[in-house]
Amino acid sequence: MILHDRILPYLDRANLLHVARLNDYWFKLDEPMISAFVERWRPETHTFHMPFGECTVTLQDVAYQFGLPIDGHAVSGCLSDFEQLMEGGKPAWVWFGELFGELPPEDCIDDFTVSFSWFQNKFRVLPAHASEETVQIYARGYIMMLLSTALFTDKSGARVHLRWLPYVADLDGLGKYSWASATLSWLYRCLCRVANRNVKNLTGPLSLLQSWIFWRFPAFRPRGFDAILWPLAARWGRFLPSSDEKGPRVIATRHRLDRLTGDDVSLNVYNAIFCTSVFIYSVG
């Protein structure tokens, strides 16, 4: 996704600018490592059960890793019958046409989703002398893609869901929501879904989970990524996991997890980072 300069103010007001800038730092997922951790997820407590006790991703982690706001209104809605909640009972596709000026071709539509490729091609290049109304349309398109493919990914894969229309309709109101709470809730939901059902493909904000593992468990942290960037997940930009066969790597990670102790977890990692930052700033 191309981040045009003129849509930056809209992303900033929506409190989504930091996570949007992560597009320059997205990293490959270490699927064997993620799989081994997910095996230890317990839906009844929303925690990972480790040899030394329990641990989990918290709101603080989401705020630091993705730069998302904790305070604000709940992000709510219905995944299946959301159209009934549209403003004034307006059909979703009618509202889509009003907000974006056109409808996607039929071969890009599946139920209430649009192919990511249509959004990407449609909003790839912002015209040089675009009106502010056009800029707002591009901002809506970018935010729809960001929410559907970075924070709230699901089994539909590379598709953009229309359930975000009520949010992007009011660009000035996007900043009043607790995007960190919604992202964490979605991660929990996806982890519980895999734990409770015979689901093979894990979805959700897995880059958040992987960054949390790297920060909280130094033994799993890749070497050569020493720069401290904001948001903190940007530290792992361009990370590439091992290309070795996945099966043996999952087994090896299970064994490593079995040997973990409380001393292998960084509990106060954020305090150490920001105390160091303040010290460097004060002596500079």
Q: What is the pLDDT of residues 164-207, one digit of tens each?
A: 998 999 999 999 999 999 999 999 999 998 887 666 778 899 99
What is the spatial distance between Cα 17 and Cα 1, in angstroms, rounded to a whole number? 13
pLDDT digits (tens, 9 = 90+) for 26-85: 889 999 999 999 999 999 999 999 999 999 999 999 999 999 999 999 998 665 556 665
2 confidence band (pLDDT: 50, 70, 90) = confident
What is the spatial distance between Cα 197 and Cα 190, in angstroms, rounded to a whole number? 11
Query: Which runs of E-coded beta strand occur in 33-129?
Result: 41-42, 47-50, 53-55, 109-110, 113-115
Q: Which of 234, 164, 274, 239 is nearest to 20 (CA)?
A: 234
Q: What percent of the chain has pLDDT over 70?
A: 90
What is the per-residue pLDDT for 275?
Answer: 54
Residue with tokens 């598709």: 159
Please state the pTM of the whole predicted model: 0.90
The three-point CA angle 60-62-63 to 5° equals 65
202's tokens: 């894990």
